[in-house]
Structure formats: structure tokens, C-alpha cells
Structure 1
Amino acid sequence: MDRRTYLKSGAGVVAGGLIAGCTGGGDGEGSTATEASEATDTEAGTTAEGTESMETETETEESVVPSKVVIGSDIPYRPFEYETAAGELTGFDVDIAKAVFEGELGVEYEFKPTSFDSIIPSLNNGNFRIIMSAMTINDERAEKVDFSDPYFTAYQTVLVRKDSSISGKEDLKGKVVGVQKGTTGAGAAEGLKEEFGGDLELKQYDQINGAFQALMNGQVEAVINDNTVNAEFADQQDGVVFLEGEGAAAEEGENAPPYLTLTVENYGIAFRQDDDEFREQVNEALAAIRESGEYDEIYSEYFSG
């Protein structure tokens, strides 16, 4: 996938729907008195057996690809999932879900708002079928969930105020940095703190908007978060900019963006570890929208470069 680094205005759509009912099964019995009744009962038994087989097949198909996919997601997280002023859910993940589930698999979908720091336990508790929430694939998470093939590449970046004295990574030493709980941005900040010998203070927020507001209010001096989400905020606020400098993207030989990158990451859709067949179906659907060009059309709605 092209490494595109700048954000432009986005628009999206949402789909919802009703849950289709599951079928139930039953057996028939008969008593025999004559040859005729025995034949009738034999035919009835065959019919009942056939019905049971058909119902089992229906139930199996329903368990693999449900009639409605409930998706756990941390909302708001622009531009991946957020509500418009009119209360409509939109974003890159929302449009990808529409293309994959409604377009390719022919099923309904619904996003269920969930705090990011508890989203994996909520998935494994059965509160929803999958996670689509700009979630980075990493080893720690892969011990608890299985991921789809990657569908997006992102970088952990640093946002500062324009009037800040911070002009490079080393200037972050001794500063207060805002992050969102449970994210790889928080992990990147912890790594930076270790690199600085502990000389970095972290403030963690339930949602990224809290960290952004703290930056504007002067409660933190920088925010570490995904590049596209930082870019969306910077596009709306004239007083903030990316911290410049080379970093992980350049070191890995990526087509590096023109700002400091602390990590290079890939997003995936998370599944429970017993959901292999459904994950395979979703991987095929992701491949199909890439091949058809629909993925690139959705991408261009939210990102450019």
C-alpha cells in the first residue's frame, strides 16, 4: 500500500439493520401397525432427517457469517470512526466495514462504542463479533485475539503547539506528554520514557480527544498518537503542528512522511481466536475490495498523498 501521509476532508456512510432469526430443529416419531403405515413412517423419518440436516447446515453458515456483524469500536477516533454534527456515524473504518460486510459478504453491520482499553476483553466476553478500531497488530494483542490481514499502515507521531520550544525528539525530555489509554501511542511514549532514562511524564486519557484538549489547554506539552488522527486534529487547529525529524519509517526504508515517526504499524480487524472461518471470509473480502479498486476509492475520501 502506498505510504500516504497527509489528510484531507472525508465523508462516509453508515449502514444498520435488523437481525435475521435463526432456525430451530426437531424430530418426528411414528408407531407401526401395518406395512402401509411402516412405509409412511419411513418416509416421514427420511423427511425429518433431511430437515434436521438442512437446519444444521443453516446454523453452521450463520455461525460463520452472521446475518448481522456487531463491531466493537472506540468512538470518536477521527478519521476512522466518529459522529457527524447530525449524529451520523462515519469514517474510514465505517466505509471499509460497509464495503466488506454489506458489499462483499451481503450482511448487515453495526458499530458498538467501546472504550479502547477494555475492547479486547469485551470481544472475548462475546459483547461483539469483531473489533474495527484502528487497531495495530502487535505480538501482545496477538496472544489474545487473531487478526485479519493488514488493511492500513500508520505511524506513531508527536503533536506539539506551534509556540512550543520543542523542536526535536530530544526536547521532549522532562516534558509532560498526553496519550490515550491502551493504545500503541501509549506504548510508544513508554518506550520513549525508557529511552530518556525515565525523564518523561505521561498523562493517560480515556479518549484521544481528552489528550488533544489537554494539549490546547497547556496541561500537556505534546501528544503521541497515530499520524492520521493527529493530522485530522492539526487540520482543524491552527495552533498545533507535527514534531519534525527522521525516525522509524526512515530507518525501515519506508517512504517516510515529513515528520518524526516513532513506530511503523499495521492495522487489522481483531477476531476471537476460535473464529478462523469467519476471519478467512473477511480476508477474502478485504482482498476483493483491494482488487476492485474500491479500497483506494475509500482511502482517497479520507487521505491524500
Structure 2
Amino acid sequence: MQGVAKVAAAAAVVLSAFLSGAGAAELPDLKGRTIVAVTENAYVPLNFADPKTGEGIGWEYDAFNEIAKRLNAKVEWKLTSWDAMIQAIRDGQFDVGMDGITINDERKQQVDFSDPYMISEQFMLVRADEKRFTDGPSFAALKDGLVGAQPGTTNFYVAIYNVLDGDEKNPRVKLFETFGASVQALKAGDVDTVLMDRTSADGYIGAQPGAFKIVGGPLGREEFGFILKKGSDLTAPINAAIASMKADGTFDALNKKWLYDYKSQN
């Protein structure tokens, strides 16, 4: 999800397969070390609470649990809000953070990033019966149209700079504390669109048939990475595990589970 640079994201979230690499036998051994990982639990299907159990589940949970397994490490999961996450990682409160976080130069000044694990693009999610606009330009021309967004996220900045007029105080952007709250506002008719990557949009469409649809085309491209404290000794091992999971098809299997099968079942 996020930043001026979270300027966009992919016609479907696809793996970045730039790295090929070492097999599991060649990976670093963290000797049972506990890695404290943090997420928000509000970004379907990457990280969210299982509606039946309340347990944190999703693509990022499965991916990072597997990374830890390959590195002979344990994961202690924590939750925090999106707006506190980068600072918390910067301050060393947690070892690694994830929330569909876009890799960009502004954030690189505060934290280190892993190699990218996804590439994605931003799309406009609207109510299924929406007929007043069909893309960004026609939405911009709809003078009373409102877009819901979290402050400081990609959906906010893409709305401001790719859809509207570049004024970050534009009153047509209605701010919400969580991503899920902005989608609920869309469903309730309090806003008219929410921008998100295609994976999340498909997740909401699949979970609530007949409630939402996508209009227009992709609004850009972004790469997601895990965030770590500057100079973290975990960055290189995590990157090695990411490379091995790309090479052996593990990420493809996670895509099938969370981006396709989950959507079709929900």
C-alpha cells in the first residue's frame, strides 16, 4: 500500500522474478533466532484477520513464515497501524514490517527494504451500479465525486496526483484511519471510489459478489518489499530466502492460494 511513490501497482499482482538463486541448502542459518514481524491485518488478501477465527492470515503471513522456516528462525507476529509502522521499524520496535509497502526513495531514507516480492498496479474500485464515471478522467470531471483513502498511502497519492489536481488538501479526498474503513465507506455510498492494487480489488469483489467492480485501467506500477531497520543483519538472509522461493515456485503457489483460489472461494 503506499507513499508518493506508492504511485501505482499491476493488472494483477505478479511476482517479481528478477532474482534466481540459491537453494534452501545454501541459505543462511539463523540458529533458531526469533524475528519480530509486524503488520496491520487490514490488507486483503496480503494480511487480514480470518473472519472465522480472528487469526492473522494472508499472502504475507504465509510468505514470511516460510522465509523464517528456510532460515531456521521463528516468527513472533505483532500488529500496529499503518501510520505507525515505518517509524516503529525505524526505531527498532520490530525487526521486519509488511503491509503491501511500496519500495520508494523517500522511504529508503528511513528504513531498508528487502528485494521486491510483488509487483502491482493501482485500480479504481467502485460500487457495482456506478454509471457516472468509467475511468480517472471522467471521475475527475465529476465535481462532487469523492475518493476514500488512508493518509500517507499510495491510494492517497495516486488519487491526488494521478486522478485529481495535485492538491494534497483537495476536499474530494476523504480520509480514513484504515484501508478497510475506506472500502466500507465506498459500499455505504459515503465515497465513490477507492484506489487499490488489483489483487486487493479482486479480493473485495470476490468476497462480496455484486457489491463492487473495477473501472478504467491501471494507474501505474509499484514494487512491494519488507521493511527493516537501517543496517539490519536480517536483510541479506531475507533476500536470499526470497530468491530461493522465487526460484522454486513457492511464490507461484502462494499466488494461486491467495490471489486466485481464495478469491474464487470467497
Smaller-chain TM-score bracket: 0.7 to 0.9
Q: Percent same amino acid at aligned positions? A: 26
Q: Secondary structure at the match of 1:224?
A: strand
Partner amino acid for 2:203? Answer: E
> In the alignment, what sits opposite 1:117?
83
Number of residue pairs the alignment of both structures matches = 232
> In the alignment, what sits opposite 1:188?
158
Question: For each residue in 1:121-177, what CA deviation from the matched residue of structure 2 results, as whole angstroms up to 9, or x when unmatched?
Answer: 111122101112211101111111111111001111111112221212222122110
Q: Secondary structure at the match of 2:101?
A: coil
How many angstroms apart in 2 are the aligned matches of 1:278 and 1:215?
39
Q: Which of 87, 94, 109 is 2:61 aligned to?
A: 94
Offset of residue 226 of structure 1: 2.0
How many angstroms apart in 2 are the aligned matches of 1:197 and 1:171?
20
Whether contact under 8 Å (1:160, 1:166) holds in the other structure is no
What value does the CA root-mean-square deviation take over the aligned residues?
A: 2.5
How many angstroms apart in 1 are the aligned matches of 2:151 and 2:75?
27
Structure with higher helix content: 1
Whether contact under 8 Å (2:11, 2:218) holds in the other structure is no
User: Over alpha carbons, which structure has the higher Rg?
Assistant: 1
TM-score scaled to structure 2, two decimals? 0.80
How many angstroms apart in 1 are the aligned matches of 2:75 and 2:214?
35
- Could you list the runs of 4 or more consecutive aligned residues of structure 1 that deviate by over 3 angstroms after TM superposition? 195-200
Offset of residue 198 of structure 1: 8.2
> In the alignment, what sits opposite 2:254?
298
Question: For each residue in 1:67-124, what CA deviation from the matched residue of structure 2 results, as whole angstroms up to 9, or x when unmatched?
Answer: 111112111211011121112221000010111012x101110221111112111111
Whether contact under 8 Å (1:177, 1:201) holds in the other structure is yes
Whether contact under 8 Å (2:147, 2:193) holds in the other structure is yes
Whether contact under 8 Å (2:121, 2:220) holds in the other structure is yes
Whether contact under 8 Å (2:46, 2:59) holds in the other structure is yes
Partner amino acid for 2:180? Answer: N
TM-score scaled to structure 1, two decimals? 0.70
In the alignment, structure 2 segments of 5+ residues that lack a partner are 1-9, 15-27, 262-266
How many angstroms apart in 2 are the aligned matches of 1:236 and 1:6?
18
Offset of residue 239 of structure 1: 2.1
Work out whether 1:5 is the aligned partner of 2:7. Answer: no
Partner amino acid for 2:244? Answer: A
> In the alignment, what sits opposite 1:288?
244
Partner amino acid for 2:181? Answer: G
